[in-house]
Amino acid sequence: MTQRVLIAADKFKGSLTAVQVAERVTAGLRRVVPDLPVESLPVADGGDGTVDAAVAAGFERREVRVAGPLGHEVTAAFALRAGTAVVEMAEASGLQRLPAGVFAPLTASTYGSGELLRAALDAGARTIVFGVGGSATTDGGAGMLSALGARFLDVDGEPVPPGGGGLSELASADLSDLDPRLASVELVLASDVDNPLTGPTGAPAVYGPQKGASPDDVEALDGALAHYAKVLEEAVGAKAAEFAASPGAGAAGGIGYGALLLGARFRPGIEVMLDVLGFAPALEWADLVITGEGSLDEQTLHGKAPAGVAAAARAADKEVVAVCGRLALQPESLGRAGIRRAYPLTSVEPDVAKCISDAGPILERVAEQIARDFLS
């Protein structure tokens, strides 16, 4: 019987999109098994690339002009199909929206992410999957909430400055004018991290340095976000404090906290995306699943796309192999995650720089090896 292959891989960050990974793997497999039935389902875990994965699965791409993290207008996209919108905060407020080499840990704002959510509401979305990750921001979602009607004022009744740093000046918060459509929409917070808002495992401490925050900035941001949560507690009650301590509140610089205040339900990003993309029927059809991402490492095991794909495939008793640029996991760890074997680009090209610059052709050669090992 001819084996059927499902390719459900994430992007190789900086080298290949998830769609390109699927195309290259397919080309390599078919060089060895010419008529091989292959289905591609590019996946993402809620971070950057999530909208692209939804579009590849048949969602319609919608573009809108919104504020970037520094306030300049950018063109951002969301995906829409049958009343479900997939919104990716990185499209509006991600690190990729900053000029090369520029960071703004204290002033970057999520206002544009709120505008993206509003655009999804305008488009008639009844369910919004809000994928968060890759953010340039640490503002606790205050910018996003402002774009949706919230008001954050200083002692003089003026709006506080944008960004997490400005929240130290917060005197009062008013969420009574939030967009009323939010009350009738199912909002799902899709994230691969479960950090709280503040503290040693909070957004500033863990993720602030990736966004250019110095130790002093981290301290200032942590204090500002703690103050923000306290003021919100006075405005909306005890749930504000409860949400600040909840898993996912610290996601993407605390935008998870803002989403929880909007009534979002937190779910692991890859689980949500597999549901939205239609992974279950595709998995049923397949005999072998090929997953992967740029680096298979300890982080992969904590909610990243390949781990989610492998867990679902193992539950369905399907064989899983993985492709990657770099492999930093032992065979035992891969086995526990449900991955039979991993194939790094370095297995056919030891030069790491070449693996990054020529990832596509090298991945095709890796896929040929998979075909010889598992399909021929």
Q: Please tell me whether residues 288 and 253 are part of one structural domain.
A: no
Per the structure, how many domains does the chain have?
A: 2
What is the CATH classification number for the domain harbouring 339? 3.40.50.10350
pLDDT tens per residue, range 181-207: 999 999 999 998 899 999 999 999 999
Q: Please tell me whether residues 80 and 222 are part of one structural domain.
A: yes
Location of structure tokens 């063109």? 75
For the cut 90, the answer to whether the pLDDT of residue 2 exceeds it is no
Q: Please tell me whether residues 176 and 252 are part of one structural domain.
A: yes
For the cut 60, the answer to whether the pLDDT of residue 1 exceeds it is no
Domain end call among 270, 289, 315:
270
How far is the C-alpha of 52 from the C-alpha of 48, rounded, in Å? Answer: 9
* E strands present in 82-185: 84-88, 127-131, 151-153, 172-174
pLDDT tens per residue, range 39-79: 999 999 998 899 999 999 999 999 999 999 999 999 999 99
Q: Please tell me whether residues 122 and 157 are part of one structural domain.
A: yes
Token couple for 27? 């080309």
Q: Please tell me whether residues 285 and 337 are part of one structural domain.
A: yes
Handedness of CA 344, 349, 353, 356 (dihedral sign): negative
| Residue-averaged pLDDT of the chain | 96
How far is the C-alpha of 242 from the C-alpha of 273, rounded, in Å? Answer: 26
Q: What is the pLDDT of residue 98?
A: 96
Q: Please tell me whether residues 160 and 257 are part of one structural domain.
A: yes
- Residue 224's nearest CA partner among 202, 239, 209 is 202
Q: Please tell me whether residues 257 and 114 are part of one structural domain.
A: yes
Domain housing 311: 5-41+278-374
How far is the C-alpha of 91 from the C-alpha of 289, rounded, in Å? Answer: 29
Q: Please tell me whether residues 202 and 289 are part of one structural domain.
A: no
Q: What is the pLDDT of residue 371?
A: 97
Q: What is the pLDDT of residue 50?
A: 94
Q: Please tell me whether residues 301 and 219 are part of one structural domain.
A: no
What is the CATH classification number for the domain harbouring 239? 3.90.1510.10
Q: Please tell me whether residues 176 and 258 are part of one structural domain.
A: yes
Q: What is the pLDDT of residue 303?
A: 84
Domain end call among 238, 270, 302:
270
Domain end call among 247, 270, 293:
270
How far is the C-alpha of 292 from the C-alpha of 24, rounded, in Å? Answer: 13
pLDDT tens per residue, range 314-351: 999 999 999 999 999 999 999 999 999 999 999 999 99
For the cut 70, the answer to whether the pLDDT of residue 236 exceeds it is yes
Model pTM score: 0.94
Helix, strand and coil content of the chain, in percent to the nearest 5, comes to 45, 20, 35
Q: Please tell me whether residues 240 and 283 are part of one structural domain.
A: no
Q: Please tell me whether residues 128 and 254 are part of one structural domain.
A: yes
Q: What is the pLDDT of residue 47?
A: 87
